[in-house]
């Protein structure tokens, strides 16, 4: 018993067709097809694909044997599968798009003409963004952007500070060497006086 007020009937009584039943049905269809071939009846490919539609076509076929047979076959071949009473009533729908067979040469021409595919808005924006970024990188490498100028100024200041620090270290090193040399001279003098 369901707990809530509303009952959901989805998925309750699922029925799956057994593979044996499907195989039996396929075998029966095959036997019917063979029987019709032995009797001499012509079976079109449409009747093989649609057994339900074949019963209505068979009734129409019996009613008018020779004259309408060729017309119905040509109509069904050109228009494709007829649904419902579409094959009985001829209606011209201006919105209906009929599939037309295209020649390979014309198809190749259209592919050559439309070699540049139309891009979606997102793709176009992404390409523009990449181009803008590449352009900015080029300007940045040339030093023409504000950020590049600021970086170059910072680099110049750092370079100058490093040069000053290197000079200072060198001066301190020289002073240490001089102090060490004076000390050794003093020790030598002191040693030389005693001996």
pTM of this structure: 0.31
Distance of alpha carbon 61 from alpha carbon 92, whole angstroms = 24
Confidence of residue 101 (pLDDT cuts 50, 70, 90): confident
CA distance 172 to 178: 10
CA dist., res. 171 & res. 173, Å (int):
5
Return the H-helix or E-strand segment holding 19: helix 19-39
The 3-state DSSP composition of the chain as helix, strand, coil percent (nearest 5) reads 70, 0, 30
pLDDT at residue 138 above 60?
yes
Q: pLDDT digit string (tens) for 146-188? A: 888 999 999 999 999 999 999 999 999 999 999 999 999 998 8
């Amino acid at each position: 018993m369901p707990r809530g007020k509303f009952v959901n009937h989805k998925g309750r009584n699922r029925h799956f067709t057994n593979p044996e039943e499907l195989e039996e049905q396929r075998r029966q269809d095959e036997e019917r097809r063979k029987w019709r071939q032995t009797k001499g009846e012509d079976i079109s490919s449409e009747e093989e694909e649609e057994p339900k539609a074949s019963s209505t076509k068979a009734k129409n076929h019996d009613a008018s044997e020779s004259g309408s047979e060729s017309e119905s076959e040509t109509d069904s071949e050109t228009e494709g599968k007829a649904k419902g009473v579409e094959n009985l009533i001829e209606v011209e729908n201006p919105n209906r798009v009929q599939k037309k067979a295209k020649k390979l040469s014309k198809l190749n021409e259209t592919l050559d003409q439309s070699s540049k595919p139309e891009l979606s808005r997102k793709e176009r924006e992404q390409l523009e963004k990449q181009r803008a970024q590449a352009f900015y990188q080029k300007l940045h490498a040339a030093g023409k952007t504000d950020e590049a100028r600021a970086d170059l100024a910072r680099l110049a200041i750092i370079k100058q500070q490093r040069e000053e620090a290197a000079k200072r270290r060198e001066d301190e090193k020289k002073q240490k060497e001089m102090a060490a040399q004076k000390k050794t001279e003093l020790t030598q003098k002191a040693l030389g006086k005693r001996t």
